[in-house]
C-alpha cells in the first residue's frame, strides 16, 4: 500500500515537472456564480439568492467549488450568509505539494454569532484536482456570556500514506451541579464549567480513497480527580480506563489528557454549511 502511494506521488511530481506548472497558493481568484432557483430547493428561508464560490489558481484552467454563500436581500449580490472569502486558508499537507488543504469559516449569524467551518482536501497532479475529503462542520455558537461551544478541525498528512483528522470541541456552561470540569476560580464559585474533547480519526490514503484505520477520543481533565470517579463519569470500567492510559499505573488520581475511547467509529460527515436544510 505504501508503494502504491509513493508511485502515485512520484507520478504527480514528474507530471508537474514535465508540464512546467507551478501551483502558487498565493496566486488565486474566487469567482462567485449565482445558482438558479431550480437548483436551490433545499435552501433555508429567508435566503433569496444563493451563490457558488469557485477557486481558480493562476496557470490552472480548472475551477474548484469551495462552498455556497447567500444573501437575504433580493437586490444585493453581496453575500452575508455562508462562505466568508476573507477566512479562506490554503496549505500543502505534504512536502511534495500534491495534497492541498483548503479551510474556511462562514459569516457569523444571529445573536449567538453562530459559524460553520469548511474543509476540503484535494490531490493535485499538475493538471487537475481530485477531491479526497470534504465537510462543513459546526464551529461556534454562544447562548449567553458564560455558555458557548467552539469546534475546530485540524488535518495532517503523516507520511507515507495516512491522513489524520483531529476535531477539538471546547464547551463552556454555567451550572450549580458539581462536575469534574468545574472552574477553581473563586469568583464563579465553582459554577462555571469548561471541557475540552479531542476526537482523532486516522485514514489510509489509497490512491483517491480514504480507508478507515482507527479512531480515538481524549478529554482534558483540569483538576486532580480520583480515577474511580473518572471511570464513572465517562462510563468506562476502571480496568479498561487504566489500559487505555498506561500512565495511570500506580495512581489513584489524575489530571491532564485522558484517553476514554480507542474504538471510535469512522468520521461522520456533518455537511452543515449554514444555508441548506439538513
- Helices (H), ranges, the chain: 2-19, 227-234, 238-244
Q: What is the pLDDT of residue 15?
A: 40
Q: How many residues does the chain have?
A: 278
pLDDT digits (tens, 9 = 90+) for 35-55: 876 555 566 667 778 899 999
Looking at the domain assignment, is residue 267 inside a domain? no
Range of the domain at 205: 2-261
Q: Which residues, listed in sequence order, are joined to residue 33 by a DSSP beta bridge?
A: 52
- Cell triple for 67: 462552498
- Structurally, how many domains does the chain consist of? 1
Q: How far apart are CA 48 and CA 73, in angstroms?
A: 7
Of 117-126, 177-186, 236-245, give the lowest mean pLDDT range. 177-186
- Tens-digit pLDDT profile for residues 139-162: 999 998 899 999 999 999 998 899
Q: How far is CA 61 from the centre of its chain?
A: 28
Q: How many helices (H) and strands (E) does the chain have?
A: 3, 13
Pairwise CA distance, residues 221 & 172, whole Å: 14
Domain assignment of residue 271, yes or no = no
Q: How confident is the model at residue 3 (pLDDT cuts 50, 70, 90)?
A: very low
User: Does 278 reside within a domain?
Assistant: no
Spatial separation of the C-alpha atoms in residues 230 and 260, rounded to whole Å: 9
Alpha carbon distance 247, 228 (integer Å): 15
274 domain-assigned: no
Asked if residue 232 belongs to a domain, the reply is yes
The answer to whether position 273 is within a domain reads no
Q: What is the pLDDT of residue 10?
A: 39
C-beta neighbour count of 109 within 10 angstroms: 15
Q: Is residue 118, in this structure, part of any structural domain at all?
A: yes
User: Among all chains, which residue has been given the C-alpha cell 464560490?
Assistant: 53
Residue 82 lies in a domain: yes
Q: Would strands 89-92 and 99-105 be described as parallel, antiparallel, or unpaired?
A: antiparallel
8 A C-beta contact, residue 123 and residue 134? no
Amino acid at each position: 500500500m505504501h508503494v502504491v502511494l509513493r508511485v502515485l506521488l512520484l507520478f504527480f511530481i514528474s507530471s508537474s515537472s514535465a508540464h512546467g506548472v507551478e501551483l502558487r497558493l498565493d496566486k488565486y481568484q474566487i469567482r462567485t456564480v449565482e445558482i438558479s432557483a431550480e437548483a436551490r430547493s433545499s435552501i433555508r428561508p429567508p435566503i433569496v439568492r444563493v451563490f457558488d464560490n469557485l477557486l481558480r489558481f493562476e496557470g490552472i484552467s480548472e475551477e474548484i467549488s469551495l462552498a455556497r454563500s447567500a444573501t437575504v436581500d433580493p437586490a444585493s449580490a453581496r453575500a452575508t450568509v455562508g462562505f466568508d472569502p476573507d477566512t479562506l486558508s490554503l496549505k500543502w499537507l505534504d512536502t511534495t505539494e500534491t495534497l492541498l488543504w483548503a479551510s474556511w469559516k462562514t459569516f457569523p449569524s444571529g445573536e449567538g454569532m453562530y459559524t460553520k467551518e469548511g474543509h476540503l482536501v484535494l490531490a493535485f497532479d499538475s493538471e487537475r484536482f481530485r477531491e479526497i475529503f470534504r465537510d462543513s462542520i459546526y464551529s461556534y455558537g454562544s447562548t449567553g456570556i458564560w455558555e458557548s461551544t467552539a469546534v475546530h478541525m485540524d488535518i495532517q498528512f503523516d507520511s507515507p500514506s495516512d491522513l489524520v483528522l483531529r476535531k477539538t470541541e471546547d464547551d463552556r456552561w454555567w451550572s450549580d451541579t458539581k462536575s469534574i470540569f468545574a472552574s477553581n476560580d473563586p469568583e464563579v464559585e465553582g459554577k462555571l464549567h469548561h471541557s475540552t474533547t479531542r476526537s482523532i480519526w486516522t485514514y489510509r490514503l489509497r490512491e483517491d480513497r480514504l480507508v478507515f484505520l482507527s479512531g480515538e477520543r481524549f478529554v482534558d481533565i483540569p483538576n486532580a480527580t480520583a480515577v474511580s470517579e473518572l471511570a464513572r463519569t465517562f462510563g468506562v470500567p476502571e480496568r479498561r480506563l487504566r489500559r487505555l492510559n498506561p500512565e495511570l499505573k500506580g495512581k489513584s488520581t489524575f489530571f491532564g489528557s485522558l484517553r476514554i475511547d480507542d474504538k471510535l467509529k469512522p468520521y461522520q460527515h456533518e455537511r452543515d454549511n449554514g444555508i441548506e436544510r439538513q
